[in-house]
Amino acid sequence: MHWRKFNGDLINLPIINAVENVIKRETNAGFRLKVCIGTDSQVKGRDTEFATVIVFLREGHGGFMFIHNDKTQHRFSIKERMLTEVAKSIDIAYQLCHLFTQYDVDMEVHADINTNPQFKSNDALKEAMGYILGMGFAFKAKPEAFASSSCANKVVN
């Protein structure tokens, strides 16, 4: 799995090491961190492209993110695609959650799913919320889910 920074620089460490280094660096600099993990996708022709982001927020001092992109030619229903986004976010959250516990960093999983029933993505809301909360993670959906709906949305290829 290849990760990069927003400026395009590749992250050459395993993601777990890169995240731990960030937590140590930022807390040593006196910042209180919060991490938000989210995934967004776009269908382009035969491809579905996904972007997963790890957003590091420095309380009161901005933030930055790590990005992973991938694509598939699998055809998804809207509900299946929304739940695949959530699964990608949970996979990363699960790999990293022990670090967040160890270093007392708050973490949320953001789902790019609309809470308004008039939107098609709302069909996946109950399952996504149950999946995320069932894993023991804090959950945000639109409009509060900025990691997926704003950050990941900007970096889907």
pLDDT single digits (tens) 14-57: 999 999 999 999 999 999 999 999 999 999 999 999 999 999 99
In whole angstroms, give the CA distance from residue 25 to residue 116. 39
When divided into structural domains, the chain yields a total of: 1
In whole angstroms, give the CA distance from residue 95 to residue 91. 6
pLDDT single digits (tens) 48-88: 999 999 999 999 999 999 999 999 999 999 899 999 999 99
Tell me the pTM. Answer: 0.93
In whole angstroms, give the CA distance from residue 118 to residue 106. 32
**What domain range is 55 assigned to?**
3-155
Do you find a cis peptide bond into 143, omega within 30 degrees of 0? yes
Q: What mean pLDDT comes out for the span 126-131?
A: 90
CA distances from 146 to 53, 69, 101, 110, 141 (A): 11, 17, 22, 7, 9
